C-alpha cells in the first residue's frame, strides 16, 4: 500500500509501453517504415498470407487503419493484395520477396530496441517477461 502505482499492472504496463514507444521510435528514426508496418510484415511472413479482416484480428489493428498501412506497404512493393478467387469480396495479402527482405532489416532494429528497453533484465528474466506478457493476450491474437 505504500506505493500504489508500482503495484498496479494497468498503470505499470502503460508506463512501460510509453517508454517502449519512444525506444522503437528512436530506432526507426529516418526509416520510412513504422511499428505497424513491422507487425504486418512479421505476421504475413511468420504466419502466412491472410485476408485483411483476419490480419486485422491477428494484429489487433483496426481494419480501417490496416487499409492505410497496406496501401503504404503495397506502394513500396512489400506486400501484394490479390482478390480471393473463392470470394471476390476478399483480398488476400501476402509479403513479397522485397517485403521479406525489409522485414529482416526492420527486425534488426526492433531487436535492438528490445535490447535497449530490456537492458536492466537478465536473459532469463527477459524470457520470463515475454512468457508472462504473452499469456495476457487473448488466444485469437496468438
Partner DNA sequence: CCTATTTCAGTGTTACTGAGATCG
Partner DNA sequence: CCGATCTCAGTATCACTGAAATAG
Q: Determine the Cα–Cα distance for residues 109 and 102; give it in Å rounded to an integer.
A: 11
CB atoms < 10 A from the CB of 16, how many?
A: 14
3 contacts which partner out of DNA, its own copies, none, CB within 5 to 8 A by kind? Answer: its own copies
Interactions with DNA, residue window 25-44 (CB under 7 A)? 34-36
Nearer to its own copies, 11 or 83 (CB): 11
CB atoms < 10 A from the CB of 13, how many?
A: 13
What is the x/- site pattern for its own copies, positions 58-97, by CB under 8 A? -xx-------------------------------------
Query: What does the H/E/C string look like for 86-107?
Result: CCCCCEEEEECHHHHHHHHHHH
Stretch that binds its own copies, among 66-74, 80-88, 90-98, 107-115 (CB under 8 A): 107-115
- Contact residues for DNA, defined by CB under 7 A: 14, 18, 21-22, 34-36, 51-53, 56, 61-65, 67, 70-71, 81, 87-91
Amino acid at each position: 500500500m505504500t506505493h500504489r502505482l508500482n503495484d498496479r499492472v494497468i498503470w505499470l504496463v502503460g508506463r512501460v509501453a510509453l517508454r517502449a514507444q519512444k525506444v522503437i521510435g528512436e530506432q526507426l528514426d529516418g526509416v520510412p517504415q513504422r511499428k505497424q508496418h513491422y507487425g504486418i510484415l512479421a505476421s504475413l511472413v511468420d504466419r502466412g498470407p491472410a485476408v485483411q479482416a483476419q490480419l486485422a484480428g491477428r494484429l489487433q489493428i483496426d481494419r480501417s487503419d490496416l487499409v492505410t498501412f497496406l496501401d503504404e506497404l503495397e506502394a513500396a512493393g512489400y506486400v501484394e493484395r490479390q482478390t480471393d478467387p473463392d470470394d471476390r469480396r476478399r483480398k488476400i495479402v501476402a509479403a513479397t520477396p522485397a517485403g521479406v527482405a525489409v522485414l529482416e532489416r526492420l527486425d534488426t532494429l526492433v531487436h535492438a530496441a528490445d535490447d535497449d528497453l530490456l537492458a536492466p533484465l537478465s536473459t532469463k528474466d527477459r524470457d520470463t517477461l515475454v512468457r508472462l506478457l504473452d499469456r495476457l493476450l487473448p488466444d485469437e491474437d496468438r
